[in-house]
Amino acid sequence: MIRHTILKMLQQHPGEFVSGEEISSALGVTRSAVWKGVDALRRQGYDIESRTRLGYRLTAAPDILSEADLSARISTAVIGRQIVCLKTVDSTNNYAKQAALANAPDGLVIIADQQTGGRGRNGRAFQSPPGKGLYLTALLRPDAAPEDVLPVTALAAVAACNAVARTAGVRPGIKWTNDLVLQGKKLTGILTELGVEGESGRVQYVIVGIGINVNHRREDFSAEVAEVATSLRMVLDRPVSRAALAAALIEELDQLYAALGGSLTAALDAYRRDCVTLGRQVRITGSGPERTAQAVAIDDAFGLVVRTPEGTLETVRSGEVSVRGLYGYV
């Protein structure tokens, strides 16, 4: 659409005027059509200044999650080439799964302003009130065996850390394997789901769902969740642009997706640096008998290496790991 291209051109020249003649020539439309496109953007909440003989300049943008705005912000190879933004959905992961079965392309991104049935691991609910958080799912179609995509959740955690740091200026820690934490409370949850072809045993799709608490206030969480959750706004005492964060996250996911199947050294180094689980007492459930141990390392496949009270080293690759000092575990 014309207004989408106009928006992209204005965003590519921050603080500068772009002439109406340049825009009309690039789009192959009349100056009147350009004016109508600008007017449509203004009605969506974009503040666009116009001056005779200078053209148009974008001075402010609303914090909305739209395909046009995000496409104008990002530069990626695979992830984000197609973006679907929804006002409300039960779960972006559910939507992505249905899209995958309908032959949606590799790199499709689904974003919702609200989830009515957001999900976390082990069937937990992920509270997703409207206009507060970033609820994003990427659909991946790697040509790989299931064991080759096991690092995806860890890679998504690194991507989310990078995106938050880029956008908000604060770097979260990673609680093994899939939570981001700030000031000892949960900021982000990641849920990865996998589809495998029955005949070949190859990966059919990987769905990576990431929910980030962005502009929540304490009252936006239920009483129970408020004890263990936080948001960027609560930590920074200021709002954070969800659109800017979404664009940064898409770009970071795209870069790490390119590394899947190749060298993961840089991602491993980042994960180990940011992992707040290391050096702490943990409680392990859901993979064998419940037990406590000391977290000592992340192995080359992103497994958590722990030392039992008897001194034995064990690598945890599944189950639930609670960290002493986080989420009420004392």
pLDDT of residue 113: 95
In a domain, 328, yes or no: no
Domain that holds residue 294: 281-323
Whether residues 228 and 316 fall in one domain: no
Domain membership of residue 330 (yes or no) is no
45 and 156 inside one domain = no
Identify the CATH number of the domain in which residue 12 sits.
1.10.10.10
Asked, for residue 74, whether it belongs to a domain, the answer is yes
Condensed to tens digits (0 to 9), the pLDDT of residues 259-286 reads 998 999 999 999 999 999 999 999 999 8
3 state DSSP class of 59? strand
Domain co-membership, 179 together with 83: yes
pLDDT in tens, 76-89: 999 999 999 999 99
pLDDT for 180: 97
Establish if 329 belongs to a structural domain: no
Shared-domain flag, residues 264 and 291 = no
Residues 121 and 195 in one domain: yes
Q: Are 82 and 185 in the same domain?
A: yes
Strand, coil or helix: 195 = strand
Residue 170 CA to chain centroid, in angstroms? 16
What is the residue type of 291?
R
Q: Which residues of the chain have pLDDT under 70?
A: 121-123, 328-330
Are 180 and 229 in a shared domain?
yes
Please name every residue paired with 305 in a beta bridge, in sequence order, or none if there are none: 297, 315
For the whole model, what pTM was predicted? 0.86
Do 291 and 268 belong to one domain? no
Handedness of CA 317, 323, 327, 330 (dihedral sign): positive
pLDDT at 273: 97
Looking at the structure, tell me whether residues 132 and 71 fall in a common domain.
yes
**CA dist., res. 151 & res. 267, Å (int):** 10
If asked whether residues 214 and 304 sit together in one domain, one would say no
Question: What pLDDT does residue 38 have?
Answer: 94
Same domain, 133 and 182: yes
Query: Is residue 267 one of the residues assigned to a domain?
Result: yes
* Number of domains composing the chain: 3
Provide the CA 103 distance to its chain's centre, in angstroms.
22
Both 286 and 259 in one domain: the answer is no
